Amino acid sequence: MTRIKVCGLCDGRDLDLALSSGVDAVGFVVEIAGSRHRLSAEEAASLIVSVPVFVQSVAVIQPSSVHDALSLAELTGADVLQVQGSLGHLEMAALRSQVSAKVIAAVDPAYPQATDFASCADALLVDTLHAGMLGGSGRVHDWQASARLARQIPIPLILAGGLNVGNVAAAVRAVRPYAVDVSSGVEQDGRKDPKLVREFVEAVRPCR
């Protein structure tokens, strides 16, 4: 069953529409400079406290160090930390050993050492590398590279990068991911759109 995460939630309205659509996880971009979805740790925490028990809250972070990541974990209280490529696999292992939250490593599926992170994370999230930034571009990457990576690792693979209502079913068939992750693909004029969120969930359900 393919799970669904809606990321880049910015306020209570966004959270309510994601939850009412039946998603499995909700993501909050925490203290990442340059992101239009950026929240402070305190803002994220105020939303995370309202996430119901059977839905996972995910703090998307880009920490400069393990200490920074630990601080964000404590401040937000998120169930899951999604680290956006800023820590090496040894630092990820150190982080994972010190937090109760699950840890997701975001990687470029074409990165030769991507499999190294499988030993130090609870899941890998594959996203598009564009202009030196991992994620946030709304661009699709090579799904076949993601499918190969999924076969090589013993942990769940989460597919992100340019997913939307029109392509997510094909993406799930091509990659067979544990979960899919969407943000800008369910937005209209820079805001989460209730209709697009519902349609995205409905597009994934037959593939689940």
**pLDDT per position as a tens digit, 23-61:** 999 999 999 998 999 999 999 999 999 999 999 999 999
Q: Which domains does the chain have, with CATH numbers?
A: 3-207 (3.20.20.70)
**pLDDT per position as a tens digit, 150-200:** 999 999 999 999 999 999 999 999 999 999 999 999 999 999 999 999 999
Write phi, then psi, for 81 (nearest 5 degrees): -110, 125
Paired with 180 in beta bridges are: 4, 159
- Please list, residue by residue across 7-25, b when 16 or more beta carbons sit within 10 angstroms of its beta carbon and e when fewer do: bbbbeeebbebbbebebbb
* pLDDT score for 110: 83
What is the rounded CA–CA span in Å between residue 40 and residue 46? Answer: 10
Q: What is the mean pLDDT of residues 138-148?
A: 88
* pLDDT score for 86: 85
Tokens representing 79 are 């169930």
CA angle 73, 106, 204 (to 5 degrees): 105
| pLDDT surpassing 80 at residue 129 | no
* pLDDT score for 92: 96
Average pLDDT of the residues of the chain: 94
| pLDDT surpassing 60 at residue 131 | no
Provide the strand spans (E) within the chain.
3-6, 25-29, 56-61, 80-83, 102-107, 123-126, 129-130, 133-134, 157-159, 179-182, 187-188, 191-192
Q: What is the mean pLDDT of residues 113-139?
A: 81
Radius of gyration of the chain (CA): 15
* pLDDT score for 55: 99
**pLDDT per position as a tens digit, 69-95:** 999 999 999 999 999 988 999 999 999
* pLDDT score for 111: 85
* Angle between the N-to-C axes of helices 194-204 and 12-20, in degrees from 0 to 180, rounded to the nearest 10: 30
pLDDT more than 70, % of the chain:
95
* Angle between the N-to-C axes of helices 89-96 and 66-76, in degrees from 0 to 180, rounded to the nearest 10: 40
* Cα distance between the two ends of the chain: 4
* pLDDT score for 121: 98
* pLDDT score for 112: 84
**Under a CB-based contact definition with an 8 Å cutoff, are residues 204 and 196 in contact?**
no
Tokens representing 103 are 């840890």
* pLDDT score for 139: 76
